[in-house]
Structure 1
Amino acid sequence: MNITHPQIVLGTMDFGTRVSPGQAFAILDSFVAGGGVWLDTANCYSFWADPSGVGGASERLIGAWLRARPGARDVVRIATKVRQNPLVPHSWPDSAEGLSARAVHAGVEASLDRLGVDHVDMLWAHAEDRAVPLEETVGAFGELVAKGAALRVGAANHAAWRVERARSLAREQGVEPWTALQLRHSLVQPRPLTPLPEAGHRMLTAEDMDLARSEGLTVWSYSALLWGAYVRADKPLPQAYGHPGTTRVLSVLDDIAGELSATRNQVVLAWLMRQGIDPIVGASRVEQIEQALAARDVPLGDEHLARFAEAR
Structure 2
Amino acid sequence: MKLSVCIPIFNFDVRELVYDLKKEIEKNNIYAELILIDDGSNDHFKTINEELQKEVSNFIFLEKNIGRSKIRNLFLQYAEGEYLLFLDCDGKITDPNFLKIYIEFLHQNTKCNVLYGGRTVLEILSDKKYILRWKFAVERENLSVLLRNEKPYLSFQTNNFLIRKEILSKIKFNQEFENYGYEDLLFAMDLKSEQIGINHVNNPIFNNDLESNEVYLAKVEESVESLVKMLKTNSLRLKISEIKLVKAYNFLKKIHLESLFLYLFKFLEKRVKQNLLSEHPNLRNLDLYKLGLLLKKMK
TM-score over 0.5 for the alignment?
no
With the length of structure 2 as denominator, give the TM-score of the two structures.
Answer: 0.30
